[in-house]
Structure 1
Amino acid sequence: MRVATPLNALGDTTFRSLRRHRNYRLYYAGNGISFIGTWMQQIAAYWLVLDLTDSPIAVGGLALVQTLPVTAFALVGGAIADRVDLRRMVIVCESVLMAQAAVLCILTLTGVVTAWQVYALGLVVGVAVALDAPARHTLVFQIVGPEDITNAVGLSSSLGTMARIIGPAIGGLVVASFGAGVAFGLNAVSYAIVICALLAIRLAPRPPRKAPLPGVLAGVGEALRFAVSTRRVAVTFFTVLLVSMFAFSFDVLLPLVAKLTLDQGPGTYGLIASVFGCGALVGALILATIGRARSRLVLGGAAGLGVLQLLLAPQDTLAAVCVLLFFAGICYVLWGSSALATLLLAAPDHLRGRAASLYFFAFLGGAPLGGLIAGTLTAHGGTRLAFAFGGTVALLVVAAGAIALYLGRRPVSPSQTTREVKA
């Protein structure tokens, strides 16, 4: 018999979804391996493009082609996810991602890879992610239900954040020791593992819908109306969109920090990316323990990102960069994952896939422009200018969101109510 202690109680709260749901344990284990492979490929792809072109703007270009399809197709992906078998949709998308990783591996190992080929396969990644991400997170909601969704989102974030720790570290070592092609091949294997985990999941059929769903394009319009349906949803959506677009280009900036600011190689890139991931893991466990979606976490996390980027701007030592990136990782999860949970819980059942797609449209849809801005600013003023710009924008967005929420919560005086009724 286990003795009840505060530590045991904390563990039971933090890992509640894993204890309660067998299907979620399968999902969690499979995706944990796959996410590590994904980050290995990210490290390898960005470094490969930088090595092939020696251009910060080219690195931003890879971010553009990987995320531009999300702008175009994320909302479509959500509309499709509300209509089809979610598990089957995710398996198809993961199979496409496995195939592109295998092709990129072969091209690199045979020595014929060029930048345009990396961009073309990056475009395939973007389309697959645009369709896969809304379906995956709606599948999580179907597995755990509304009671555990915030906890599950936090734990799912811990997968990505643990991958940020392990994946970049392994990826940096693999690229430095064996080359980028091996990293791409290992990612292809990781996708095969997650597909096996998804095949082992057994779910009850979705309950019959009370009314027929609109067409896909009409469903996209319904999702956009939901994005502004309430003040809380609108603030959440636009905070993610604007901060992601102008103030969260870390995937582009971290290799540039390693090579240009710190004058180091892929090993240092892997290290600083892993430190960011350590902070993100702490943030994910904090959110899983809290187990509630709150607007103050969305705005507070975004504000923390803004302040930390302003502090990062002048740094040119590895120790200082690592400390600040650790805390930036915490703020990143509190901002982003709280926003996803908020949108999922606010949506009615027939809109849940599109609510997830709204988050990914906001989080990744603005990244194409953001990556180009970050690369361009770095080319003209170094990472100092890019971080200063991002931090300033993040704080302005948070201030606007806080004002909007405050105005929405102000009590209405009886005299004002009377005047509105008369009008």
Structure 2
Amino acid sequence: MRLRCPGPRTGPPPGSLRRNRDFQLLCAGQGLSMLGSGASAVALPLLVLQVTHSPLRVGLVEAVWTGALALACLPAGPVADRFDRRTVLLVCETGRAVASAALAAAVLTGFSPLPVLLAAGVVLGFLTAPFNAAVLPAVREVVPESRLATALAVNQVRGQLAFLLGPVAGGMLFEAAPSWPFWLDSASYAVSAGCVRALRTHTGPPGREAAAGHEGWWRSFTTGIGFLWGERVLRRLTLIASAQNFVFDGVYLAIVVTSAREGASGGAVGMLTALSAAGAMAGVLLAPRVGRALPPSRVLLTTGVLCALLVGAMAFAASALVLAVLLAGCALAVAVAGSVLTVARLLRTPAGLQGRVNSAIGLLFMATPPLGSSLTGLFLDELPGWTLFLCFGGVLALLAFLAPHEAAFASADSLDRSNGVGHTRAHAMD
């Protein structure tokens, strides 16, 4: 039986999100954070390639950065559910600002060997995981339930806008000076910390804290995974998305390395990533309309097959621009499909378990990209890029046909009603 632990809270009055001060602060801070992350994300592989001239080491660094984030996901959930989420967000953003500034200073002074880059990835990963686990439940607490779906859509659009601008800025700044994208990253975290500090809404209901406080830490680590594993549809969606993350991390790294080998500048690589963000933004805007027109199973199958075809077509792309357009199409499809998992995660998870379930999903999401980066870096040393794109396209085609059928969603909804989880599904696609 699923329990709901809402507890008392002080929230904003219902109305337009434009007048919801705390939501606007959270959204602006997260958007700035993502802008800085997008800038440093495109600069990192370029920096490693510039320093080491080795795709394998690029893959290694990417694997350590994402692997640290994956390992930090389990303790991040209990942290987000035990403590005031505003405090968690503030500590994480402040720590990330300091860590990014230290990395930028190391690059500026020329002291950026592989161990320094790996250490920076570990620190940032262990600060990013609690932030990710706390930010979505925090949005849920500052926005009335009737406006939640709209708030999530607005938040996603602003996030994708940040990922659109961040890589372009990162690529251009890297061309000017390799340390500048990391300075931008640090500044974005600092401003985001200021936004979090200015929040007024209480983000740590006493009822939830009391419930989480009686659990031991190990029990807290496993509660989210246990709940996720018991939700058949949510479990299957998460595992498929995790496997897709493995593929897309490899696809992205293969595109960056291939483009750099062909002489593309940092700005050009940034534009390539920005086109991907533009596709994802279009997908976020399109997702509600697609969700009203098609059942979840049809959305997953259609977008999965489309991704498989687009990645397979990358094997025959004649230029970096064509690769960028194909990647943008994949990002659009992934964003539409991702709305199915986001809605399922928010509406099927009790309020008191949001942080732990989010971190369990985050763990599964982030556990596979390190393997994708490592294997891609290894194979790029030995094989031409087109063979990888064909292999990745085949894997995506298989995953598309493993998605849950409509009967699975229907039986899960019936079980939810019998257990008293009375969320209104219509809100999710408004």
Is TM > 0.5 for Structure 1 vs Structure 2?
yes
Q: Does 1:197 align with 2:195?
A: yes
Distance (Å, rounded) in 1 between the aligned partners of 2:16 and 2:228: 28
Distance (Å, rounded) in 2 between the aligned partners of 1:199 and 1:291: 36
Q: Give the SS at the match of 1:380.
A: coil
Aligned to 1:240: 241
Distance (Å, rounded) in 2 between the aligned partners of 1:325 and 1:317: 13
Question: What amino acid is aligned across from residue 287 of structure 1 in structure 2?
Answer: A
Give runs of aligned pairs for residues 299-318 of structure 1, distance below 5 A: 299-318=301-320
Distance (Å, rounded) in 2 between the aligned partners of 1:318 and 1:124: 33
Q: Work out whether residues 247 and 389 of structure 1, in 8 Å CA contact, stay in contact via their aligned partners in 2.
A: no
Give runs of aligned pairs for residues 6-405 of structure 1, distance below 5 A: 18-19=17-18, 21-176=20-175, 178-204=176-202, 206-209=204-207, 212-213=211-212, 214-260=215-261, 262-287=262-287, 294=296, 296-402=298-404
Distance (Å, rounded) in 2 between the aligned partners of 1:85 and 1:302: 38
C-alpha change, 1:374 and 1:76, in structure 2 (3 Å) is same
Distance (Å, rounded) in 2 between the aligned partners of 1:17 and 1:31: 20
Q: Work out whether residues 150 and 288 of structure 1, in 8 Å CA contact, stay in contact via their aligned partners in 2.
A: no
Aligned to 1:11: none
Q: Work out whether residues 66 and 125 of structure 2, in 8 Å CA contact, stay in contact via their aligned partners in 1.
A: yes
Question: What amino acid is aligned across from residue 336 of structure 2 in structure 1?
Answer: L
Q: Give the SS at the match of 2:402.
A: helix
Q: Work out whether residues 30 and 197 of structure 1, in 8 Å CA contact, stay in contact via their aligned partners in 2.
A: yes
**Alignment RMSD, CA only?**
2.5
Q: Work out whether residues 254 and 273 of structure 1, in 8 Å CA contact, stay in contact via their aligned partners in 2.
A: no
Identity %: 25
Q: Work out whether residues 305 and 328 of structure 1, in 8 Å CA contact, stay in contact via their aligned partners in 2.
A: yes
Distance (Å, rounded) in 1 between the aligned partners of 2:145 and 2:382: 47
Distance (Å, rounded) in 2 between the aligned partners of 1:73 and 1:310: 33
Offset at residue 291 of structure 1 (A): 8.0
Distance (Å, rounded) in 2 between the aligned partners of 1:381 and 1:175: 28
C-alpha change, 1:172 and 1:289, in structure 2 (3 Å) is same
Deviations 1:160-180 (A, max 9, x none): 32122211111111111x211
Offset at residue 289 of structure 1 (A): 6.3
Q: Work out whether residues 279 and 326 of structure 1, in 8 Å CA contact, stay in contact via their aligned partners in 2.
A: yes
Q: Work out whether residues 33 and 192 of structure 2, in 8 Å CA contact, stay in contact via their aligned partners in 1.
A: yes
Offset at residue 209 of structure 1 (A): 2.2
Offset at residue 338 of structure 1 (A): 3.5
Q: Work out whether residues 93 and 129 of structure 1, in 8 Å CA contact, stay in contact via their aligned partners in 2.
A: yes
Q: Give the SS at the match of 1:228.
A: helix
Q: TM-score, structure 2 length as denominator?
A: 0.84
Distance (Å, rounded) in 1 between the aligned partners of 2:289 and 2:152: 11
Distance (Å, rounded) in 2 between the aligned partners of 1:299 and 1:353: 29
Q: Which consecutive residues of structure 1, in runs of 5 or more, have no partner in the other structure?
A: 1-15, 411-423
Q: Give the SS at the match of 1:313.
A: helix
Q: Give the SS at the match of 1:381.
A: coil
Question: What amino acid is aligned across from residue 203 of structure 1 in structure 2?
Answer: T
C-alpha change, 1:67 and 1:378, in structure 2 (3 Å) is same
Q: Work out whether residues 68 and 368 of structure 1, in 8 Å CA contact, stay in contact via their aligned partners in 2.
A: yes
Question: What amino acid is aligned across from residue 236 of structure 2 in structure 1?
Answer: V
Offset at residue 207 of structure 1 (A): 3.9
Q: Which consecutive residues of structure 2, in runs of 5 or more, have no partner in the other structure?
A: 1-14, 412-430
Offset at residue 205 of structure 1 (A): 5.4
Question: What amino acid is aligned across from residue 273 of structure 2 in structure 1?
Answer: A
Q: TM-score, structure 1 length as denominator?
A: 0.85
